[in-house]
Amino acid sequence: MKIHVKQGRLSQEPSEIALMGHFEDEKELCETARGLDKTLTGQIKNLLKSGEFTGKHLQISLIHARSRSPVKRILMLGLGKRKDCTPEKVR
């Protein structure tokens, strides 16, 4: 397995899967997530709005992007509460 870490617009980088972290109970998406969500016609925002994904620590949800995005799948990872998030918890 090859893992590449890049900086740029996630909505424009072709990849098999992208990992996107989200803090618990945060209603707004970060700029990167908003761009990707726009490409996915609101799939991320709908996932949060439905309550199916809340961002609790280590919660995961897989979104299949189909043909709308150069990213085939997005793995959402719950980071827990922002104030409690540490590098050790993310590892």
Q: The whole model's pTM is what?
A: 0.81
Q: Determine the Cα–Cα distance for residues 32 and 30; give it in Å rounded to an integer.
A: 6
Neighbour order of strands in the sheet with 71-78: 15-22, 71-78, 60-64
Per residue in 6-51, pLDDT tens?
A: 777 777 778 888 888 999 978 888 888 888 888 888 999 999 999 9
- Hey, what are 78's tokens? 């719950």
